[in-house]
Chains A and B, each alone.
Chain A
Amino acid sequence: MTDPFPTAVAIAAAVRSGERSASDFLEAHLARIEQREGELHVFNLVTAEVARARAADIDDRVAAGEDAGPLAGVPLALKDNMCTRGVATTCSSRILDGWEPPYTATVVERAAAAGAVLVGKTNLDEFAMGSSTENSAFGPTRNPHDPSRVPGGSSGGSAAAVAAGFAAVSLGSDTGGSIRQPASLCGVVGVKPTYGRVSRYGLVAFASSLDQIGPMSHTVADSALVLDVIGGHDPRDSTSIPEPPTPLLDVVDRGVDGLRVGIVRELALAVEPDVAGRLVAAADALAAAGAIVDEVTVPAAVYGLTAYYLIAPAEASSNLARYDGVRYGIRVPADDTTQMMSRTRAEGFGDEVKARIMLGTFALSAGYYDAFYGKAQKVRTLVRRDFATAYERFDALLGPTSPSVAFELGAKSDPLEMYRCDTCTVPSSLAGDAAMSVPFGTGREGMPVGVQVMAPALGEPVMFRVAGALEAANRG
């Protein structure tokens, strides 16, 4: 499956050198949006005019001999849960319909300063809760490879934006797999950085101890480039790692000779045969490229889903309390404030969000904290420990990203079935480690399959090396 769309690396180089204009690249992307957006519903908002002004500005600067930055002219799509000043940020929820933040997220400021051109805010599962983007209050996004199927979630819009050539790169957010899983389903690269590596300032919080912003792109190098731009310490985020991160763009082609890669047994067992087949192929490819590949066990990983579905809703129940109709967003009138809040939230939130808020409230409530939230955080410790043990013997780990290829819209009506989409991605989220999905061929019905590369906290350099090798093998 060849990818005809230009990469961010190529675009930035061409724009910076004056070879081709930012406006030109932008128009090509806008044309594709024009063509297929009606069919795919990738965006909540396309910011064409602002983008054109920005691209023109970059072209002026290049003409004046200035360096327009490492992402010069690169069309970028942002998941609509990242604050953009003066531009609607809805989290695909009715409760924030029309809200324009008075400030901009750190990662967006950094990307813009590097020359990126924002083309639009992408659709997501409401408040990032979901694995298919079907929980959006504004309708689902469709998979560009097959519009009868989901793009995955919750960053379905961002994944589809790249897959459909609407943007060269996009930013998504990952809490339990929300970048990696849609990346896999849409056949693009998606990275969940080490927790703390990328600032969360301006990311509308879902589960604070798990959320991370990360890039999605056609190529591994593009994600490395974007991560180099957006990552690094932010004094406005107390959970942001102080030490400057290692630059990644240059490590992508270093190869995997002598690297020890472990296939995580517990994750490999959780998937459909076509996906399992691609995982085997990936392992073989790495071995052929010089890596030492073996199986490894991370026993607590099988409890990851349970722990995640107690911790994330608990934190979410608190993070979403602020949507009460008082200061911004919609308000449903009532005779007193308590009723106003209850009605506003009942009307403003979709069912999945309500369910998770209630589950989370329950998990934290008096008499249940120890049994649920408290216990889940202990399970989290076990998951971290088991990964740490695995990393003593291996430089990186390998596993599937998603148990299956993209499924049809409406196919998973049982919430538990939907939650199981996260089985392979949740464990590294709990550990706070680095993880990414790399496209590796196709599975059933020609749909894309991604494989997941995992590395210890701040192990992005080795992770990108392995990813680079897989990409090369997949190409060749």
Chain B
Amino acid sequence: MSGRIGRDDVAHVAALARLELDDAEIDHFTRHLARILEHAADIDELDLDDVPPTYHPVGLRNVLRDDIVESTLDPAEVLAAAPDAEDGRFRVPPILGEAP
């Protein structure tokens, strides 16, 4: 069932997706997304109960690699790209919560 998406939904997914939006932007995106989902309602008329989903277009199975150590990136090159680093590690502002 694809219905509309409301302002609260947009605020919620923006937070989930780590996108800081102001009120005007939330309004704008709410209209935008509602329009898209309105048109997505065309699939509601289909009977999909017995239809399996397709997650992979190519039906491969068991793609594995041998447990062999390969060459790694030069840490200097890796850290050169970092917005902020210290002591060979990536530096970030205070993390408020524990990892889930």
Q: Secondary structure of the A side of the interface?
A: helix
CB distance from A457 to the nearest CB of B (A): 7
- A365: nearest chain-B partner, CB-CB: B13
Contact flags A402-419 to B (C-beta < 8 A → 1, else 0): 000000000000011001
15 inter-chain pairs at a CB distance below 8 angstroms, sorted by A residue, are A102-B78, A209-B56, A238-B60, A303-B46, A306-B40, A326-B90, A336-B96, A337-B94, A345-B18, A354-B19, A355-B33, A359-B36, A378-B46, A416-B35, A457-B58
On chain B, the residues within 8 Å of A331 by CB distance are: 83-84
CB distance from B92 to the nearest CB of A (A): 5
Given contact pairs A379-B48, A457-B57, a sample of 13 additional A-B residue pairs in the complex whose CB atoms are under 8 Å apart: A306-B39, A306-B40, A324-B18, A327-B82, A327-B83, A345-B20, A357-B19, A359-B33, A362-B9, A365-B16, A377-B55, A378-B46, A415-B35
Q: B18–A342 contact, CB under 8 A?
A: yes
Q: Chain B interface (Cβ within 8 Å of chain A)? A: 1-2, 5, 9-10, 12-21, 29, 32-33, 35-37, 39-40, 42-43, 46, 48, 51-58, 60, 63, 65, 73-74, 77-78, 81-84, 90, 92-97
Q: A358–B13 contact, CB under 8 A?
A: yes
Q: A209–B43 contact, CB under 8 A?
A: no
Contact (A358, B33) CB under 8 Å given A310-B40, A345-B18:
yes
CB distance from A174 to the nearest CB of B (A): 13
Q: A100–B5 contact, CB under 8 A?
A: no
On chain A, the residues within 8 Å of B5 by CB distance are: 362
Q: Secondary structure of the B side of the interface?
A: loop
Most buried by A among B10, B36, B63: B36
8 A Cβ contacts from A307-322 to B: 307, 309-310, 317, 321
On chain A, the residues within 8 Å of B93 by CB distance are: 333-337, 339-340
Q: Which of A59-67, A133-141, A249-257, A367-375 contacts B (4 or more CB under 8 A)?
A: A367-375
- Determine the distance from Cα of A414 to Cα of B83 in the docked complex, in whole angstroms: 36
CB distance from B9 to the nearest CB of A (A): 6
On chain A, the residues within 8 Å of B51 by CB distance are: 378, 381-382
Q: B9–A328 contact, CB under 8 A?
A: no
| Residue of A303, A329, A334, A374 touching B42 (CB-CB under 8 A) | A303
On chain B, the residues within 8 Å of A215 by CB distance are: none
Q: A195–B74 contact, CB under 8 A?
A: no
Q: B54–A235 contact, CB under 8 A?
A: no
Q: B74–A416 contact, CB under 8 A?
A: no
Q: A309–B40 contact, CB under 8 A?
A: yes
Q: B73–A102 contact, CB under 8 A?
A: yes
- Determine the distance from Cα of A100 to Cα of B82 in the docked complex, in whole angstroms: 11
